[in-house]
A and B are shown apart, each in its own frame.
Chain A
Amino acid sequence: EVQLVESGGGLVQPGRSLRLSCATSGFTFGDDGMSWFRQAPGKGLEWVGFIRSNTHGGTTEYAASVKGRFTISRDSSKSIAYLQMNSLKTEDTAVYYCARLIMIDQRADYWGQGTLVTVSS
């Protein structure tokens, strides 16, 4: 059974940093891409960023709204994807979701349950 579990959310002050984790199981982590999405309270979904599979170099891409502030990484030995968020802004307040993303057909199939990040002073 494929499972993704996010953790690391919480309350953080503007300008500070936070790291989210996405622990996975049930599939060969190194073979697939991983993506992060977010949803501000009462709003729609937004794509945040993506990390390619190990076989595709593990390189990353980001939405313009977070580029330069957020960094995605992966630890294949632990089957965990990370989202490092720096210089947080109040508008980054959202539920953050990770999902497996299969590049060959751009399929975002399995999602975690989400973790809430609140940026407030």
Chain B
Amino acid sequence: QTVVTQEPSLTVSPGGTVTLTCASSTGAVTSNYFPNWFQQKPGQAPRALIYSTNNKHSWTPAHFSGSLLGGKAALTLSGVQPEDEADYYCLLYYGGAQWVFGGGTKLTVL
């Protein structure tokens, strides 16, 4: 069974920079996994932030960016704002129309 691993929790100060990662049990994450990143706040539906590794949606705030880093997918928040406090999930595509989510990262802005 494929497992996608994210940091369970991270804390960042307002104005700081933080990077969330997404690793696959099958090996290095590449662009062929088409990493998606989502933000979810309590009581709300997930909101798409990044697709296909590093592409932003029209509504994605400028201070979010996606990349590949050390064999993992990564989501970097630069100049973190209090409203960025949320759960963040990555989604990887494994071919054959199979997708697997990471367990999510709870980001605290403190």
The chain A residues found within 8 Å of chain B, CB to CB, are: 35, 37, 44-47, 50, 52, 61, 63, 97, 105-114
Q: A45-B89, A46-B101, A47-B91 are in contact. Are A108 and B96 (CB under 8 A)?
A: no
Q: Is the CB of A106 within 8 A of B52?
A: yes
B46 touches A97 (CB 8 A): yes
Complex CA gap A109/B58 in Å reads: 10
B45 with A106: CB separation less than 8 A:
no
Nearest A residue to B35, CB-CB: A106
| From B40, B46, B51, B103, contact of A107 by CB (8 A) | B51
Smallest Cβ distance from A97 to chain B, in angstroms? 6
Q: How many interface residues does B have (CB within 8 Å)? A: 24
Once the chains are docked, how many angstroms separate the CA of A112 from the CA of B96?
A: 24
Give me 9 A-to-B residue pairs in the complex whose CB atoms sit less than 8 angstroms apart, sorted by A's number. A45-B46, A47-B100, A52-B97, A61-B98, A97-B45, A105-B52, A106-B93, A107-B34, A107-B52
Contacts of A113 in B (CB 8 A): 45
Interface residue? B48 (CB, 8 A): yes
Q: Report the Cα distance A35→B97, complex, angstroms.
A: 10
User: Is B66 on the interface with A (CB-CB < 8 A)?
Assistant: no
CA distance A14 to B99 in the complex (A): 27
Are B51 and A108 closer than 8 Å at their CB atoms?
A: yes
Closest chain A residue, CB of each to CB of B48? A109
What 1/0 flags go to B41-72 for Cβ under 8 Å of A?
Answer: 00001111001100101000000000000000
Contacts of B45 in A (CB 8 A): 97, 111-114
